[in-house]
Amino acid sequence: MDSVWRAAAIYIGLMIIMRLSGKRSLAQITTFDFVLLLIIGEATQQALLGEDFSITNALIVIITLVTLDIGLSLLKRRSKKVDKWLDDVPLVIVEDGVALQDRMDKARVDVDDVLSAARHLQGIERLDQIRYAVLERSGGISIIPKENAS
Amino acid sequence: MLDASGIDEKTMTAPKSTETVSSGKTSDHSRRPMFDEDIGFQRRQWRVERFGWAAMVLVIIAALAGVLGGGGIVELATASDSTSLTEVRYARFARYSSSTTLEVNVTASASGRPMRLSISDQYLGAMNVRAITPSPISTSIASRQHVFVFDRAASAAATIRFELVPQSIGRHEGWIAVDGAAPVFFSHFVYP
């Protein structure tokens, strides 16, 4: 019984924290984001397992987490509203080579991040070569180059 | 470089258009041999997946009820001797190397002082005693049993709590007797 409640509490707690932290926080942009992810994992582990190191407990915790995830994914397919609240929405941050500064400020992304993604994904070097830059739900930036990119 | 990026764009948009055409139902035989697609296998796998989900939900319900140990209504059990002066509350299901509580309630008139509580040594061999509350004033070993002696005011009701950690997996049977009365039998199933 405890195992199920513990896993559910951690799942919901982590989900709320991650959503509050914004799209960008743990998209593994920097090395430290990766370290932060590891630390969160370590901190969570104790609370998830408590003092019970049995295989049964581990499996129950995993099954609870996975089932919650599947359940929510089914719920998200049914309801667009739930999907938006749980998984965020994509955001256009560059349009026709122009950075939409207010959006970028709110999402805590800067032009350097966009250019980094542009170099990485499309080999683009300047902002004006970008038709759209979209901050995806996952926190990554995807780039659509202009047709006549040169 | 420029040509390459141009081609890349075309190939990127090409599969997208076929995707929109084939949206909706998928046919039963594979149409894209180049992808090594096996829709028959895929369907079987989806079916197994759904069964798996149902099984996982059942596991969660079982865990919540306490069938898998770790607390819950199914887990708690009570055993008492024929005179029901001694009552043992224990967990039917426990987990390996995770503590479980065994509570012995002795009715007021059951015994004099000090109270002698015997537990089968076979049972204690499978359990690690982490704590006993209250602490016994002495322990001794008799034939096939461990005897814990507790000091208590004459004819007071008593509850003694053992915190035990199972040291092996499977069924463990034990008995507890207070002051030489008929033993109370109980058993746990210890999950791995």
- The average pLDDT across A145-149 equals 75
Q: Could A53 and B98 be called an inter-chain contact, meaning their C-beta atoms sit closer than 8 Å?
A: yes
With bands split at pLDDT 50, 70 and 90, how would you rate the model's confidence at A135?
very high
The pLDDT assigned to B15 comes to 45
Cα distance from B190 to chain A (closest Cα, Å)? 10
Query: Which residue has 């079987």 as its token pair?
Result: B44
All residues of chain A having their beta carbon less than 8 Å from the beta carbon of residue B72 are: 1
Query: For residues B106 and B179, what is the distance between their CA atoms, to the nearest angstrom?
Result: 10
Q: Is the pLDDT of residue B156 over 80?
A: no
With bands split at pLDDT 50, 70 and 90, how would you rate the model's confidence at B163?
very high
Average pLDDT of chain A to the nearest whole number? 89
For chain B, what percent of residues have pLDDT higher than 70?
79
Cα distance from A21 to chain B (closest Cα, Å)? 30
Top pLDDT among A95 and A28 is at A95
Partner B contacted by A64 (CB < 8 A)? yes
Q: Model confidence over A55-80: pLDDT tens digits?
A: 999 999 999 999 999 999 999 999 99
The pLDDT assigned to A29 comes to 67
Exposure b/e, A108-135, CB count within 10 A at least 16 = b: ebeeebbbebbeeebebeeeebbeebbb
Q: Could B70 and A67 be called an inter-chain contact, meaning their C-beta atoms sit closer than 8 Å?
A: no
Taking Cα atoms as reference points, which of B143, B163, B45, B29 lies closest to residue B103?
Answer: B163
* Residue in A1, A57, A122 closest to B66 by CB: A1
What predicted TM-score, i.e. pTM, was given to this entire model? 0.78
Partner B contacted by A48 (CB < 8 A)? no
Taking Cα atoms as reference points, which of B70, B68, B95, B102 lies closest to residue B186?
Answer: B102
Number of A/B CB contacts below 8 angstroms equals 68
Q: Tell me the ipTM for this assembly.
A: 0.78
Cα distance from B96 to chain A (closest Cα, Å)? 6
All residues of chain B having their beta carbon less than 8 Å from the beta carbon of residue A2 are: 70-71
Helix axis angle, A2-20 to A31-49, nearest 10°: 160
The pLDDT assigned to B5 comes to 41
Query: For residues A136 and B55, what is the distance between their CA atoms, to the nearest angstrom?
Result: 34
Average pLDDT of chain B to the nearest whole number? 81
Q: Is the pLDDT of residue B17 over 50?
A: no
